[in-house]
Structure 1
Amino acid sequence: MILSISDLQVAASAKLPSSARDFYNSGSTDQITVHENTTAYKKYRLRPRVLRNVSLATPQTTLFSQQIAFPLCVSPAGIQAIAHPTGELATSRACAKRNIHMGISSFANHSVEDIVEAAKPIAPIAHVMQLYTMKDRAKQLRIIQRAEKAGCRAIFLTADSPVLGIRYNEHRNDFRTPTGLDFPMLEKTSAQIRAETHDDQFKAFNADDHSWAREIPWLRSVSKMEIWIKGVLTAEDVILAREFGCDGVIVSNHGGRQLDGTPATIDVLQECAEAGAGKIRVHVDGGIRSGSDIFKAIALGAECCWIGRPVLWGLAYDGEAGVTKALDILYDEFKRCMQLTGCNSVSDITKASLGVMRAHGPLARL
């Protein structure tokens, strides 16, 4: 019986081949960050208010000028067809059923056009296109133009990956994308992909000489989509994103897959939100495994949360139905958490709703 995201992880991991399971679940080098992303949430405690009428509580919020069911969206996660052949198409349909937005990875196994179209008969959700800084500017521009023409609302520029993090599992398993899976956005066939390791392939197309001054003005010059920076972990970079006129930032450490030993995203969220000062939108991903985790992130200043691995586990467990199950679990847990803390709307969730555990002594107010 699947009652929680933890249940889903166990069920999915049992179905996945070991190389795919390691690729999805592991982080870089010593796995410190990938584990702390989740465990860091445990030191924050909820401060419920009682005897409040929560009969009309609603978790709805607005993002990209559109009302969504609750402050959660699906992160751009690559190579979803390893988990299930329908991959990103199933994820898009599940997002539409739950009425939340979806990110599309440059490493998607289906095209942006097909992924966007998959949701349309169900609900008019927004999609965003994840992008790397690429050596081949012409190809990068084609990705942008295809995404914009398909109706994507924003570019999520992955800024934390001038090179890939050191992922021991990929080297030990000689990880390569399985036969038959293409990367249509990167214009690569299965045969081309299989000829290289994941690391060599990334080195071949990714530009490690990227910079704020080069990337942001160029993106502004070629697209009307919003520009968000994904991979921010410091107040200093939030301020730079503001200075360069970006629309938002995603507080993210790439799911612990880049530089190991970086802080859990929930632990730097407050400083990033304060640096945003209401001048730029601040979202967060990494380690979210329950509705109360979403609540805690909102209390610490995030406008919205994004999830990756729970969706991949849902896909591996039961395709579209599995993703729907994951999103339904998180929706129900988040709404009940709101009600049990006395919050009737997302705007009611503040730092006053949380405390943090001290090693010795009483709970500390935030």
Structure 2
Amino acid sequence: MADVNHTAFRPGTFLLVGIPGLEKFHLWISLPFFSMYIFALLGNLVLLFTIVREQSLHKPMYLFLSALTLADLLLSTTTVPRMLAIFWFRVRDISFGACLAQMFLGHFIFIAESGILVGMAFDRYVAICNPLRYVTLLTHSVIWRIELAAVVRSFCIVLPALFLLLRLSYCRNRVIPHSYCEHMGVARLACTSIKVNIVYGLTAILLSLGIDVVLIAVSYGLILRAVFQLPSAGARRKAMSTCGSHLCIILLFYVPAFFSFFTHRFGGHSIPRHVHILLACLYVVVPPMLNPVIYGMNNKQIHETVIEMLLLQKGLEAKLGCSISEGLQVSRPVTCFYPGKCWTIYALMGPPVVAPTE
């Protein structure tokens, strides 16, 4: 009778708390999360559409970037809508199957994105350290194989974790002190030993993300050595600018993730739970929000392509003080003014082309 509250069973639903200890602030916390999520959706969709639409961007670096953008969209959409439902409507119930599905998708996308970042680091290494073989080494088929390998590896790593959760017997406690389902948060509700889950989770992270971080560090170490050997200061600045944006994204991706991972397993009571959960929520929305900003603002080709798309939208001619005659041949360019820049619009046979005027 004393153990009646710990009877082993498989629950029909779990209860997600949100951010423990900050329940009365959920509405206020939801506002920045909602804003960041909308910004991440719009930014990544614009970036993805730009890369797919513009033929000149079908290059190795941008193909990796499109895969990263798609992963960001899936990662944030897997977790943030459920989080907002908790914050706004107190919809805390989540079925056992839906919880495992969210856990699987979240970890699967995260590890796949880590593999894509390794591919991007390899791309920059070849472009800077071996530029003469860049086109021959990084063909479209090679890029697709790298991305497929990242997806297959992620699937093979996360699938055993799903079965490790299915084998457990769960107690009557159904409350998950988190805003979304993740492996150890679900495993801690079990009545039976979860030592295998802990060991496997730690091993999987160290052998996947740990190796990825080492490979990325080696790649950028070789890149920095090659950059400092370049004779031209302009070439060094250009290479450092490109690699700097990549390093920003890598730091935004790995630092919060490793902090959350190790805190969940070894932090104990030294770090307040609400701080840990809040940071875990931030790392599924902040990198997806900032990736389009970093690449869109720092990459001249993407920046100019997006501006071109905006300038050529129907109805903008009058606002810009110039006309665009699509499909007509004109004898001279028509110049119009965009805030801070002067652009020359050439109406050629076919879609117009916008070029910056010196």
- TM-score scaled by length of structure 1: 0.27
TM-score for the superposition, normalised by structure 2: 0.27
Larger radius of gyration: 2
Compare the two structures and name the one with the higher helix fraction: 2
